[in-house]
Structure 1
Amino acid sequence: MNLFEDTQEECKEVYLDETESFTPEPLMDIMTEKEDADMRQVLALQMLKHVQENLGHAIELLENGQLVDAQTMLAQLVTEKTQLQRKKEALSGDKVLEGVFDGRGMVGSDGSIYEVPQNYASKSRLVEGDVLKLIVRANGEHIYKQIKPIERRRVIGSLLFDEVDNRHVVVVGDITYHVLDASVSYHRGGPGDEVVLVIPKSGKCRFGAVDAINKKR
């Protein structure tokens, strides 16, 4: 092999090394995320337009006295909305649920009970019967949002500590309500303090939401 051939081989080896070192990163994941985001936006727009059109038609049917047809259309709209929501969830990897707050957790539409953080429930003054939305992210994160508060009323009672059940309670007349420990800790409440409690306007309940605590003098 002559000198010219040796030089060619050396140059070829250097060229191959540089090519391997500067191979660009694949853009497949980035493109996939962008396509998913675009598809979610299309589905959201499709859902809103569909709801708008069908609600207008349902109102027209009601105005014309066609109650049965209007009810059928609204039921169909709910079904189609659910189907579109499932498509959106499949693309995003998120799971969206609605449920009712039971004083400590959310009873989901799937029949499962989901733990609601006490700090969130306390700061939001959640009351039994409030309707919540839960978004379960693909990474496992849980995000709650209060979407339909139940009608409320306020009552005043005394804060006590139930040593048998190891929990705080508020006694209003002859009724005892459970309260979240996080609420009592936040307001620095103690036995004998006066508590302003938020409860459902009608019906019985086990839990109340602490609105304020007036310290015992």
Structure 2
Amino acid sequence: MEEKEEKNNDKIQALREMIYSAEKTLQGAKSMLLQLEGKKKVGRRKKISDEDAEDGRIIEGTFDGQIMIGTDGKQYPVPANYASKSKLVEGDMLKLTITQDGSFIYKQIGPTDRKRLIGVASLDAQGNYFVAAQGQAYKVLLASITYFKVEPGDEVTLVTPKNISSDWGSIENVLQKNSGKKQSAIIPSFEEEKEEENSDKNSDLMDEWSPDLEELKKELNNNLNTPSQS
């Protein structure tokens, strides 16, 4: 009986130690969780307080291909470099923060659905770039042309709105550079073709006359070798 009691006591003691260890581990986990949650909460409060301290004016609007039309009905300029690098298309929702010093800070908050087209870059009569794709001429920002170093004749990938009709597109990449100069270098001009044609004709004429000259020589030799009749 005493042995059984000792064994039971050992088991009870072992279970108590396990529970104690588990509770200690649980307390440590709770402490870590509180610390992590506390850091996140502090970070959020700090962000809000920074915005409150800046006291910036926030305006939301829609990008129309060049500028933002605010919900207040006013137009706000969008930096061309930002629009090109962000590949903005007509219909994208933007948030504009105007800081106390007058700086404009844009953020894309609602991108519209997009589709991709393959087109060719060209210049119009006024020297403005456009991309011809699927039978339509899309306007593009000059900053996109400069950023990708696009030249007339280059094949490009164009991003446009999927669900609305738009005159504007954003260049995503250059697929193939224009190789027109190389092609023109190996294609003979009309004058060269004409000269080659004339030289071929002259060669044919010489070939046609050559047999006749040989026959004349033979006849002349025969006449010289034939004794004259007195």
Are 2:131 and 1:170 aligned? yes
Are 2:150 and 1:189 aligned? yes
User: Normalised by the size of structure 2, how large is the TM-score?
Assistant: 0.54
What amino acid is the match of 2:106? Y
1:28-47 alignment, distance < 5 Å: 41=45, 44=48
Deviations 1:86-116 (A, max 9, x none): xx76x63310010000000110111111111
1:115-130 alignment, distance < 5 Å: 115-130=77-92
Are 2:166 and 1:205 aligned? yes
Aligned residue for 2:157, secondary structure, equals strand
Structure with the higher helix share, 1 or 2: 2
Equivalent position of 1:142 in the other structure: 104
Query: Between Structure 1 and Structure 2, whose CA radius of gyration is higher?
Result: 2
Number of equivalent positions: 135
Shift of 1:163: 2.6
Shift of 1:203: 2.1
Give distance in 2, aligned partners of 1:160 and 1:42: 50
| Unmatched segments (≥5 aa) in structure 1 | 1-39, 46-87
Q: Which runs of 4+ in 1 moved over 2 A?
A: 40-45
Deviations 1:57-77 (A, max 9, x none): xxxxxxxxxxxxxxxxxxxxx
Which among 125, 128, 132 is matched to residue 94 of structure 2? 132
What amino acid is the match of 1:146? Q
1:1-217 alignment, distance < 5 Å: 41=45, 44=48, 92-164=54-126, 166-213=127-174, 214-217=176-179
Q: Let me know the Cα RMSD of the aligned residues.
A: 2.3
| Unmatched segments (≥5 aa) in structure 2 | 1-43, 180-230
